[in-house]
Amino acid sequence: MPANIVVGTQWGDEGKGKVIDILASRADVVVRSQGGNNAGHTVVNNGEVYKLHLIPSGILYPNTLCLIGAGVVLDPKDFIGELDSLAERGLETLGHLKVDPRAHIVMPWHIALDGLSEAFRGGKDIGTTKRGIGPTYMDKYERCGIRLFDLVHPEILAEKIQTTGKLKNKIITEVYGGDPFDLDAVIAEYTEYGKRLLPYMDDVSVLTFEASKSGKNIMFEGAQATLLDIDFGTYPYVTSSHPLSAGVCVGTGIGPKEITNIIGVAKAYTTRVGKGPFPTELDDETGDKIRNVGGEFGTTTGRPRRTGWFDAVIVRHSVRVNGLDSLAINKLDTLSGLDTLKICTAYKKPDGTVTEHFPPALEELDGCVPVYEEFEGFNEDISQCRTFGELPENCKKYIARLEELVGCHVSMIGVGPDRSQVIER
């Protein structure tokens, strides 16, 4: 009963969707356990591009059961949009997609408050995706959230929208000077969403447990990434959930003993969308080149991604906090054509000491300077390579040193966006 977790090891967009899609071909069940439609996962199959936000990347296989666990925050409007766009492309979801009744619902005031609070922070905004993720998790922990169970029960939904909505309208108008919501209209709109979602509701904790006990191959699809984790990321420039491997258990409702293998996904360089520290960021022509060659523009918001060298300090941190068994390194092909490649091996602190560990606070990270090791680049087109042996010598050296620096075996190398463009070791 293999149960694999796939997690992001940097600031997101490492190509988790592609890795999940490849591994999902061998899986019976694919489970999402945290985050919401702030995620954007791209799957490319024979030139056909699918961009998924809430629905697990296993959905492209008709016999794979796709589950959305209790720890996910679900925007019903976007979710239905995703169901419809898959249906238009001939992909049926009913029957092999289930959502846990405990999953919290993103309400329209969450989206409004995400925008209003970001604007209120002025220049100190987080640069969120403005999908209402933070405010929905706030209500969950405040214990006043609306869950999928409520959404599909019109009387409960109406009562909860009236109570919570009144308070939200007060905050929106009196604190932020925004426009209130017409609660009757919200009740009408969300009741309709509830009707549509009812056939998708099922207890994901039970389904996952039963799948595990009957020897099924389970894949847990991480969204966001380690450096965006609310505790172990670059707080406060993080998301509001636990994208770590440990988050899978609480977000699905299964015990840690069910997990057999944990795979981290990284790019061969680093990117970040949104604000916050990025020690190896390249604010120059090389950074632009990586952005353009790699098509580094956000899947969810379309924002240009910030680009920089591979940072072994952050991936080493991810190897530790996730307990990684192996790494998938994507987009090695993007680095072709650069004369020199660099890897950050450690940070030099303002007092002259050197650390190999990612500092717990931004104030400590301030003034840290990356220590780099340089490598000769490669010019070959590697997109057709399918074995490690076929890679140019300089690529092999780069990967071997990267493995050594982060302390983890590289089991997969991405050489292009398509499902087939991968080297497995």
Binding site for Mg ion (CB under 5 A): 13, 40, 299
Binding at 282: pick from ligand GDP, ligand IMO, Mg ion, none (beta carbon under 5-8 Å per type) = none
Q: Which residues neighbour 174 within 8 Å (Cβ) at sequence distance 6 or greater? A: none
- Of ligand IMO, ligand GDP, Mg ion, none, which one sits near residue 342, judging by CB under 5 to 8 A according to partner kind? none
9-17, 18-26, 337-345, 387-395 -> range binding ligand IMO (CB under 6 A): 9-17
The site partner of 416 among ligand GDP, ligand IMO, Mg ion, none (C-beta below 5 to 8 Å per kind) is ligand GDP
Q: Of the two residues 213 and 303, which places its CB atom closer to ligand GDP in the complex?
A: 303
Cα(404)–Cα(409) distance, integer angstroms:
8
- Per rule CB under 6 A, is residue 330 in the interface with ligand GDP? yes
Binding site partner of 58, from ligand GDP, Mg ion, ligand IMO, none, Cβ cut-off 5-8 A by kind: none
**Which are the contacts of 280, defined by CB distance < 8 A and separation ≥ 6?**
270, 308, 309, 310, 311, 342, 344, 370
Q: Which of 4, 8, 319, 391 binds ligand IMO (CB under 6 A)?
A: 8
For residue 425, the tally of other CB atoms under 10 A from its CB is 11
Report in angstroms how near the CB of residue 8 gets to ligand IMO at its nearest: 5
User: Which does residue 9 bind out of Mg ion, ligand IMO, ligand GDP, none, counting CB within 5 to 8 angstroms by kind?
Assistant: none
Q: Per-residue string for binding with ligand GDP, 35-54, x by CB under 6 A?
A: -----xxx-x----------
Q: What is the dihedral of CA 277, 279, 280, 285, to 10 degrees?
A: 60
Closest CA relative to residue 9, chosen from 219, 225, 187:
225
| Beta strands at 104-105 and 73-74: parallel, antiparallel or unpaired | parallel
Q: Burial code of 262-278, b = ≥16 C-beta within 10 A, e = fewer? A: bbbbbbbbbbbbbbbeb
Q: Is 415 in the site for ligand GDP (CB under 6 A)?
A: yes
Subset of 286-305 contacting ligand IMO (CB under 6 A):
299
**By the rule CB under 6 A, 15 interacts with ligand GDP:** yes
Nearest distance in Å: CB 294, ligand IMO: 14
- The verdict on 331 binding ligand GDP (CB under 6 A) reads yes
Give Cα 239 distance to the centre of its chain. 10
Question: Closest separation between CB of residue 170 and Mg ion, Å?
Answer: 35
Residue 242-281 contact track with ligand GDP, rule CB under 6 A, x = bound: ----------------------------------------
Q: Give the active site residues.
A: 13, 41
370 binds, among ligand GDP, Mg ion, ligand IMO, none (CB under 5 to 8 A by kind): none
Which CB sits closer to ligand GDP, 20 or 186? 20
**Distance of alpha carbon 386 from its chain centroid, rounded?**
26
One residue of 117, 239, 252, 334 binding ligand IMO per CB under 6 A: 239
Burial label, 59 (beta-carbon count in 10 A; 0-12, 13-18, 19+): buried
Tokens of 421: 């463009």
Are 16 and 6 in contact, with CB atoms under 8 Å apart? yes
Q: Which of the listed partners (ligand IMO, Mg ion, ligand GDP, none) does 6 bind, with a CB threshold of 5 to 8 Å by partner kind?
A: none
Q: Is residue 28 close enough to count as binding ligand GDP by CB under 6 A? A: no
* CA gap 101, 76 in Å, rounded: 13
Tokens describing residue 216: 């099924």
- C-beta separation of 24 from 119 below 8 A: no
Residue from 45, 260, 299, 411 binding ligand GDP (CB under 6 A): 299
Pairing of strands 422-424, 306-308: unpaired
Binding site residues, ligand IMO, CB under 6 A: 8, 11-13, 38-41, 126-129, 131, 133-134, 223-225, 228, 239-240, 273-274, 299
